[in-house]
Structure 1
Amino acid sequence: MYNATRRTVTLSLLALLAACGAPKSKFKTYDGPAVTQVVINKGQRRMYLLNNQTVLKSYDIGLGNEPIGDKQFEGDGKTPEGIYFIDRFNPRSAYHLSVGISYPNEEDKAYADSFGLAPGGDIFIHGWGPEGNVKAPKMRDWTAGCIAIKDDEIEDVYAMVRGGVPVIINP
């Protein structure tokens, strides 16, 4: 009788676990219209994914901890302004997922070099991750120059954009 009860409990637990399903994957799929550009308006703290002139999605964003002005030098805490491109994807980001932006370009490098300084780099659109989950609810702009959105939102962006898509970052 003990073995029958034990077997019943074990089967019940297995059935309960199966009903709960597998953990949700952070990798979504997307089969809608292609994202042809990403537009970021720093002053409005909004990011738009567009197909030509049609807005597919829009998001509230956080910026670098010095949000006003164009990024010029490493460590200035600013988010760049200008035209860049999606150039890489990081599925193992410390910020849930991240999509790289091609900053610095040749002009950015030359400007910083004229002052004998480095332009900085590693600018991403990324999720909050553990750091952002602590900082973002308390402060709007907390990154070192990146564009931050909620973790579930970066999952959408990661699925929707492709390498080479232009990223227009306005003041």
Structure 2
Amino acid sequence: MRYRLLAILFLVLALGVGVYFADSRLPALLAEELPQAESVLVVKEERKLYLLRDGEPYREYGIALGGNPAGHKQEEGDQRTPEGDYVLDWRNPNSMAHLSLHVSYPNEDDRAQAEARGVSPGGMIMIHGQRNGFGWLGRLVQRWDWTDGCIAVTNVEMEEIWHAVPNGTPIRIEP
């Protein structure tokens, strides 16, 4: 029994180390000379985020969404990622996750629809990396939707996005 427990522990540690090294490139490579994005496209069904230039994708990333990803965000706590046209309007280098870019949700329409239903539309929708301290689990955690409505990528990918996407960049989130 003890050997089985040790074997399982060793397997878990080996998997964790493998996942860590698979997603740990040198920081100099993170901010490689990517062109500045003119816009960002998220396709929820594909679980993809695309950086666009001249209307064409030049970089793509796998994403995790909110725990209830189907449909447009309706209210605070519904664990949905909004759909529509927004702006990445500010950034937080000290967020609860590795870097974050704020999506300008809710807009006027979102607020009006929530008010008509008597609920809060919610907010603080971000593109972000992994929770601080858990970046080494990035690739593993990205296999399922785990956010409260945000768009999550690995820390390495977030570094690239952070450098390629300035404040004021439009973002379209499609179903």
TM-score scaled to structure 2, two decimals?
Answer: 0.77
- Count of residues in correspondence between the two structures: 148
Q: What aligned pairs does 1:92-171 form with structure 2 within 5 A after superposition? A: 92-129=94-131, 130=133, 137=140, 140-171=144-175
Q: Is 1:55 the equivalent of 2:57?
A: yes
CA distances 1:104-140 after superposition (whole Å, capped 9, x unpaired): 0000000000011100000000001245766972551
> Is the contact between residue 43 and residue 174 of structure 2 (CA under 8 Å) also seen in structure 1?
yes
Question: Structure 1: 5+ residue runs without aligned partners?
Answer: 1-23
CA distances 1:66-93 after superposition (whole Å, capped 9, x unpaired): 0111101000000000000011111011
Cα 1:107–1:136, aligned 2, differ >3 Å: closer, same or farther?
farther
CA distances 1:48-80 after superposition (whole Å, capped 9, x unpaired): 001122322100000000011110100000000
In 2, Cα distance between equivalents of 1:74 and 1:132: 26
Q: Is 1:36 the equivalent of 2:38?
A: yes
Give the root-mean-square deviation of aligned CA atoms.
2.3
| Amino acid aligned to 1:137 | L
In 1, Cα distance between equivalents of 2:119 and 2:48: 30
Aligned to 1:137, what secondary structure does the other structure show?
helix
Which position in structure 1 is the counterpart of 2:17? none
In 1, Cα distance between equivalents of 2:27 and 2:93: 12
| Amino acid aligned to 1:63 | L
Superposition misfits of 4+ residues, deviation over 2 angstroms:
28-34, 129-139
Aligned to 1:167, what secondary structure does the other structure show?
strand
Aligned to 1:153, what secondary structure does the other structure show?
helix
| Amino acid aligned to 2:150 | C
Q: Which has the larger radius of gyration?
A: 1
Deviation larger for 124-133 or 153-162: 124-133
| Amino acid aligned to 2:58 | L
TM-score scaled to structure 1, two decimals?
Answer: 0.79
